[in-house]
Amino acid sequence: MSVMTASYTYSQPSRVSADAAARVRAAAETLGYPGPHPGARSLRRGRAGSLGVVIGEHLSYAFDDPQAAQFLAGVAEECAAAGVGLTLVPTVGTQADVERVNAAAVDGFVIWTTTDDDPVLDAVAATGLPAAIHAGPARPGLPVIGIDDRAAARQIGRIAFAGARRPAVLSFPTNRGRQRRVLTGPPPAETTFAVTRARWEGFLDAWTDLGGTPEALQVAVCSHNTAACGEDLTRQLLGTPPSPDAIAAMSDELALAALTVARRAGLSIPADLAVTGWDDTEGAGRGDLSTVSQSLRQQGRLCAHLALNPAQPHAGPPPPHWQVVIRGSTRPAPAPSPPGL
């Protein structure tokens, strides 16, 4: 058999007769040859056929965190539409992260929201491959896809804190140290998670808009976005006088955890405690939770589209949209301003 016939058997089987293809595969089986090596094929084509997603956490995070899972579903949909694979690139905050990025056989990157000082941001930029960042932080030349978290927090915060005297926030971690603590006032300087900082500032804006002082806003910082962490910190807040009469949470998971603890304590919602969440998950609807609605799935698709189509930066899905959804977990408040884009 000619080299060309053997090559066509694996790369363009329609150009080879069934008899010739059968003879090539029989010979290959005898020799123990599994077929062309994917890496060599990628080198010849000049593309890997996969999109890398840097999730900024241990690998299990991609499956455990509901927000990350929704975002990744959107990325996967866009990859499927483009006929490419998806490669998860987990990072843990060490020099090995940069090496892992450099070794990834991908055609572009999507970066899940991370810290300002994460070295993988510069490592991705240095590859020269097309990339998109979800929700920040920003890097020159790399598009950032996400809603205006500060503006959304300001709007939902005004709903959460309406009529309140002792407001509190259930917050995402401030940095990779993930220290669990209760603070007051504006975010500290070491708050390097871009999303945490923006939402914290927005909640503070809402409270001061309503006439409150920064020092009166308690912020309970969770180590992880989990119901268990939300319940623990809510119990701590409610058990420390003066207990809050309003809680604005940075996710529906944390907010629903706060509602669970409050109801177990015999509190009336929202008369004794108003609660708001973020993302408008299915649980938010079942729990009658006021929240911020956004589509992380859509944002995942848009990030993937930009990374896979760098020559068409404005094509694809529309910009991310958000709006406040008011349900029974909050007190009556003035009508919210129009939803943001």
pLDDT tens digits, 74-108: 999 999 999 999 999 988 777 788 999 999 999 99
Q: Write down the pLDDT at residue 250.
A: 98
Listed in sequence order, the residues at least 6 apart from 341 whose beta carbon sits closer than 8 Å to its beta carbon are 319, 320, 321, 322
State the average pLDDT over residues 315-330: 85
Q: What is the pLDDT of residues 193-222, one digit of tens each?
A: 999 999 999 999 999 999 999 999 999 999
Q: What is the pLDDT of residues 251-306, one digit of tens each?
A: 999 999 999 999 999 999 999 999 999 999 999 999 999 999 999 999 999 999 99
Query: What's the CA gap between 188 and 167, in Å, rounded?
Result: 18
Q: Write down the pLDDT at residue 43.
A: 42
DSSP letters along 243-268, please? PPSEEEESSHHHHHHHHHHHHHTT--
Count of alpha carbons within 13 Å of 115, Cβ hemisphere only?
19
Where is pLDDT greater, at 291 or 42? 291
Angle at 258 (CA atoms; ends 114, 153), nearest 5 degrees: 45
DSSP letters along 99-152, please? HHHHH---S-EEE-S-BTT-HHHHHHHHHT--EEEES---BTTB-EE---HHHH
> What's the chain's average pLDDT?
89
- Show the tokens assigned to 185: 């006032």
Query: What's the CA gap between 246 and 249, in Å, rounded?
Result: 10
pLDDT category of residue 65 using cuts at 50, 70 and 90? confident
pTM assigned to the model: 0.83
Q: Which amino acid is at 256?
A: L
Listed in sequence order, the residues at least 6 apart from 18 whose beta carbon sits closer than 8 Å to its beta carbon are none
Q: What is the pLDDT of residues 301-320, one digit of tens each?
A: 999 999 999 876 554 456 79
Query: What's the CA gap between 279 and 251, in Å, rounded?
Result: 6
User: Which of 19-23, 41-45, 229-233 has the highest mean predicted lDDT (pLDDT)?
Assistant: 229-233
β-bridge mates for residue 110, sequence order: 53, 132
